[in-house]
C-alpha cells in the first residue's frame, strides 16, 4: 500500500474566491474522486482550523494499492483537472509518498 499526503498553502484570493472558499472547493473536487479511479482506496481532505504560522491551509490524505496505482491516479484525467485548478490557487505544495 502507498500513502500519498499533500499539503497546500493557498493564495489569499484566486479564481474569484477567497482562500477559505477555495479550500472548500478543493475538498469537494478531490473527495469526488473517491470510487472513480482504480487503485485509489481512500482519499480525504482536511481544512486547517489552527491557522498558525506553521500551518498549511489544506491537507490531502490518500491510500492507494501500490506505486502503479499512484502513478495512474496522478495522471488520471479527473485528477489532472483538479490539479490544474489547485495550481492556480496555491502558493506552496508539499508532498510525501511512502509505502507501508
Name the pTM for this structure. 0.95
pLDDT of amino acid 27: 98
Q: Could you read off the pLDDT of 19-63 as tens digits, one per residue?
A: 999 999 999 999 999 999 999 999 999 999 998 999 999 999 999
Q: Label residues 44-74 b or e (16+ Cβ within 10 Å = b).
A: ebeeeeeeeeeebbbbbebbbeeeebbebbe
**Rg value, the chain, Cα:** 13
Tens digit of pLDDT for each residue in 54-83?
A: 999 999 999 999 999 999 999 999 999 999
Give the bridge partners for 39, in sequence order: none
CB atoms within 10 A of CB 81: 12
- Domains of the chain are 2-99 (3.30.70.100)
- What was the pLDDT predicted at 58? 98
Amino acid at each position: 500500500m502507498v500513502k500519498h499526503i499533500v499539503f497546500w498553502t493557498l493564495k489569499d484570493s484566486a479564481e474569484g474566491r477567497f482562500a477559505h472558499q477555495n479550500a472548500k472547493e478543493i475538498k469537494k473536487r478531490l473527495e469526488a474522486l473517491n470510487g472513480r479511479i482504480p487503485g485509489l482506496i481512500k482519499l480525504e481532505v482536511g481544512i486547517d482550523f489552527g491557522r498558525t504560522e506553521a500551518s498549511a491551509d489544506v491537507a490531502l490524505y490518500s491510500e492507494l494499492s501500490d506505486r502503479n496505482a499512484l502513478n495512474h491516479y496522478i495522471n488520471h484525467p479527473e485528477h489532472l483537472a483538479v490539479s490544474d485548478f489547485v495550481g492556480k490557487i496555491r502558493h506552496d505544495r508539499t508532498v510525501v509518498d511512502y509505502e507501508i
